[in-house]
Structure 1
Amino acid sequence: ALQAMMEGLQVLTLEDVVSEADIFVTTTGNKDIIMVDHMRKMKNNAIVCNIGHFDNEIDMLGLETFPGVKRITIKPQTDRWVFPDTKSGIIVLAEGRLMNLGCATGHPSFVMSCSFTNQVIAQLELWNEKSSGKYEKKVYVLP
């Protein structure tokens, strides 16, 4: 939020925008970010998804156990949840789990292989140069 403010963007709380926004994406890595009370206040067919570190940012258990709520599967990994009293609903992607893994192919094995290889190269270089004083605590380009 601080970085966004420094870039000149408007920063508001979820409570300030929950009834106005069309798409909600959690990216915090914290739990219980979007709760059922928030979901009930969202616009009809608002989209809710998570790209944070874990699948506990969206209160899916609260949604699943809400009295009378109806789950309609639109397609795999895309569900519309309709609340009984308002007949309006929200669309939840990947059941509240990480959408890059649930709704797409996730991280292709080639990309993961390159990433892990780079990490090993960096670790080998640091190990081989550990007593040389070659590296300070800075960011470096891989050798």
Structure 2
Amino acid sequence: MSNSFTNQVLAQMELWQNATKYQKKVYILPKHLDEKVARLHLKRIGVDLTVLTQQQADYLRVPVAGPYKPEHYRY
């Protein structure tokens, strides 16, 4: 439940900070915000995430800091 609430708060912050970027319609939460929520919650429960090396990121063709999945990917 706290993940859902955090998703909603980050979405509201995104809309507030970038209001001109969005029209009045339904949007899916961007992957970078979804992954930020995951990092925040994992940190809170004591999970240490490893960070990709540049070599790993290049191999996977993703940025070192993410997002790691394309926008169309649904978990």
Asked if these proteins are the same fold (TM beyond 0.5), I'd say no
Q: TM-score, structure 2 length as denominator?
A: 0.37
- Say which structure, 1 or 2, has more relative contact order (CA 8 Å, 6+ apart): 2
More strand by share: 1
Q: TM-score, structure 1 length as denominator?
A: 0.20
Greater C-alpha Rg: 1
